[in-house]
Structure 1
Amino acid sequence: METVISRAVKDISIEELENLKREALKKAVLRRRVARLALTGVNLLMTLFLLLPLLYAVSIALMPSGELFTTSMNLIPATTTLDNFRQAMVKIPLTRFIVNSFLVAGCITAGQIISCSLAAFSFSFLEFKGKNLLFMLVMATMMIPGEATIISNYLTVSGFRWLDSYKVLIIPYLTSAMGIFLFRQFYKSFPISLYESARIDGCSDLRFIYSILIPLTKSAIGAMAVYTFINAWNMYLWPLLVTGSDKMRTVQIGIGMLDSVDSQSISMMIAGVVMIIIPSISVFILGQKQLIRGMFSGAVKG
């Protein structure tokens, strides 16, 4: 049997073997390309399905009101117009609301990054009595819904005479248990010898944070910034409760005001929604890699 196989192999020329290899390689490349194209097609369909509500909202925003209220389903406007966006800016001071939201969200994001990183540093590298108990108490606050403390918080800031000001919108949200937990888990991936070596070399705690920790935790900072900015941008209940003038209101309240200005102008309200959703989507798109990397980087310790 072996002699027969050996003779058959000898009968095949080197050129034929090369041709067989090339054919097999072509088939493998073809299968790989087909699989890649199929995966790309599935991803495009899923992307279109997920973006369909947003695309339809943009279509309504560009559609005249008379064209929207018809018996036929108009997915694409026959005539596009920017009048809905102009009306949304005229009916309410939407520009002022957008500026307020950017200011509030930016300050909250910066405040949480600073406060949460400092607190996480204390829980990760410093040794003091009751550290674990204090950390458990901080984590326990995550189980308390915000609605359960909103009345007491309102009475507190009212006693401070902070109502209808930037202070009442920013200061209560300058730290969060979730941010402390995120930074602590990230810091736990660093060996304690790194901190001890820096201390032996005469490095202070603040210098260690600024010169060593911050450059090593850019992904965690990016994830925290994206998460915090989007949450602060979308706040509704607290700004509605503590603000009473158009000077201090935020964009989420402004959308509610558009709904009450003219209940028939759905296209104008959708135009306002499109304008205020663009910043949050832009922040998410620009920082999605940092968000994913920061959420998972602290999960592996080494």
Structure 2
Amino acid sequence: MLLPFVWMISTSLKSPSEVMAMPPVWIPSEWQWENYQTASEVAPFGRYFINSIIVTILSTIGELLTTILAAYAFSKINFYGKGIVFAVLLGTMMVPGEVLLIPNFVTVSNLGWLDSYEALIIPWIASIFSIFLLRQYFFSVPTELSYAAKVDGCSDFKFLWYVMVPLAKPALITIGLLKVIGSWNAFLWPLIVTNSQELRTLPVGLSAFTTEAGIKYELLMAASTMVILPMLILFFIMQKYIISGVARTGIKG
């Protein structure tokens, strides 16, 4: 599992001759640290970095809001056809994302959102998987707690934000981290809906190292290391919350 990351870092510090050497060179004879500076100058990675942060933060906030509201409705509120609606939503998880690319692109195009932040953010502010995950966590909260809150005059909305959300913090952290990692690494959709450099994200910006003359692997690996490093650090710091959040979603009261 770690071998691709080791190879990526090793290649990012090689000279062009060592990149293509056979047999492969694992440890560069001279570490080419200037590859990182050169890679940062090939494309406006500062702008790409800002775009990735904006898209990641806003899409994560949007998904958390929609997930909280939908999960509470499907777990604690009784309404006609709740089971059928939820089953249909779960069924959409079996549809491959690639199948939805064309209809989603047509929808975004008709709305006039091509090459805009709206196209990068709004289609991804809801996730059936996240709703399912949080719904299972909400089931672990005893229903009697909501009854007691209503007796004290607490509305469903207040009960959700002041009781359920604090109790579900581990699950929300898990959902947020998974969304951050997925949004940060997204490539295909930003590539399709953006045309200008001003709106490209970091994964799309890596295509700048692929030209008709070939691929500059040492610069591509240096840029890839800079793109992946923030998410690796975030994951290693927060992985205990991901594990605890996923583990506790299977507990029902």
The TM-score range, normalised by the shorter chain, is over 0.9
Q: Does 1:247 align with 2:198?
A: yes
Aligned residues: 253
Q: Does 1:172 align with 2:172?
A: no
> What is the match of residue 60 of structure 2?
109
> What is the match of residue 43 of structure 1?
none
Q: Does 1:270 align with 2:221?
A: yes
Separation of aligned partners in 2, 1:170 and 1:179: 16
> What is the match of residue 140 of structure 2?
189
The alpha-carbon deviation at position 219 of structure 1 amounts to 0.8
- The amino acid of 1:285's aligned partner reads F
Gapped regions of structure 1 (runs ≥ 5): 1-49
1:1-302 equivalence runs, <5 A:
50-260=1-211, 263-302=214-253
The alpha-carbon deviation at position 300 of structure 1 amounts to 2.0
Separation of aligned partners in 2, 1:180 and 1:70: 49
Q: Secondary structure at the match of 2:211?
A: helix
- The amino acid of 1:190's aligned partner reads V
Q: 1:264 to 1:183 in 2, by over 3 A?
A: closer
CA deviation vs aligned residue, 1:203-222 (integer Å, no higher than 9, x gap):
12222122111211111011
- The amino acid of 1:292's aligned partner reads I
8 Å CA contact 1:91, 1:261 repeated in 2: no
CA deviation vs aligned residue, 1:132-163 (integer Å, no higher than 9, x gap):
11111111111111222211111111111111
The alignment-based identity, stated in percent, is 36
Q: Secondary structure at the match of 2:29?
A: coil
8 Å CA contact 1:223, 1:295 repeated in 2: yes
Q: Secondary structure at the match of 1:161?
A: coil
Could you tell which deviates more after superposition, 278-287 or 257-266? 257-266
Separation of aligned partners in 2, 1:229 and 1:170: 12
RMSD over aligned Cα, in angstroms? 1.5
TM-score with structure 1 length normalisation?
0.80
CA deviation vs aligned residue, 1:182-240 (integer Å, no higher than 9, x gap):
01000011111111111111112222122111211111011101111111112111111
The alpha-carbon deviation at position 55 of structure 1 amounts to 1.9
- The amino acid of 2:148's aligned partner reads S
